[in-house]
């Protein structure tokens, strides 16, 4: 079959391979991720840390209820949950400190509190600042 004048055969055409396209997409994605991280769209990182705090408190709450189920009381200190009821106590994502746990004798109630950076997940105020409080059901 004769080749028409001015039309190059398929095997001589140059284009991007699938690998080249994937590399370009990966580079663009990486740059976009770095840029978004640097820009910190107002409050997104703070909201993510707040969501992590809520999740941590719910995890500790489950361990507290398991402890209560076995012992009939809540622990005097939150560290009493380790290692039987929780492998490692979660800590605040910003400060790395433990969450506030209060339980008084006869240890049938508790308050577990985390300070929040935004009002999105806050269910209380602590000293005028937003916070999230979990109590025994």
Is residue 51 a part of any domain in this protein?
yes
The 3-state DSSP class for residue 135 equals: strand
> pLDDT > 70: what percent of the chain?
88
| Interior/surface letters 45-71, b for 16+ CB within 10 angstroms, e for the rest | eebebbebbbebbeebbebbeebbeee
Is residue 87 a part of any domain in this protein?
yes
Is residue 2 a part of any domain in this protein?
no
Is residue 106 a part of any domain in this protein?
yes
Is residue 129 a part of any domain in this protein?
yes
Q: Is the pLDDT of residue 3 over 70?
A: no
Is residue 17 a part of any domain in this protein?
no
Q: Is the pLDDT of residue 137 over 70?
A: no
CB distance 120 to 96 below 8 Å: no
CB distance 107 to 75 below 8 Å: yes
pTM of the shown model: 0.67
The Cα-based distances of 99 to 4, 31, 42, 92, 94 in angstroms read 77, 35, 25, 7, 12
Return the CATH number at 74: 3.30.700.10
Is residue 99 a part of any domain in this protein?
yes
Is residue 69 a part of any domain in this protein?
yes
Number of domains in the chain: 1
Domain span at residue 68?
A: 44-135
């Amino acid at each position: 079959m004769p080749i028409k004048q001015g039309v190059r055969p398929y095997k001589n055409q140059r284009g991007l391979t699938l690998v080249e396209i994937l590399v370009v997409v990966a580079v663009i994605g990486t740059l976009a991720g770095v840029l978004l991280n640097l820009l910190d769209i107002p409050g997104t990182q703070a909201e993510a840390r707040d969501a992590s705090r809520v999740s941590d408190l719910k995890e500790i709450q489950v361990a507290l209820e398991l402890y209560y189920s076995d012992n009939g009381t809540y622990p005097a200190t939150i560290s009493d949950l380790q290692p039987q009821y929780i492998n490692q106590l979660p800590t605040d994502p910003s400060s790395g400190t433990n969450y506030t746990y209060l339980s008084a004798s006869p240890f049938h109630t508790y308050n577990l509190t985390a300070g929040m950076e935004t009002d999105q997940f806050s269910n209380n105020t602590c000293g005028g600042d937003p916070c999230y409080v979990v109590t025994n059901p």
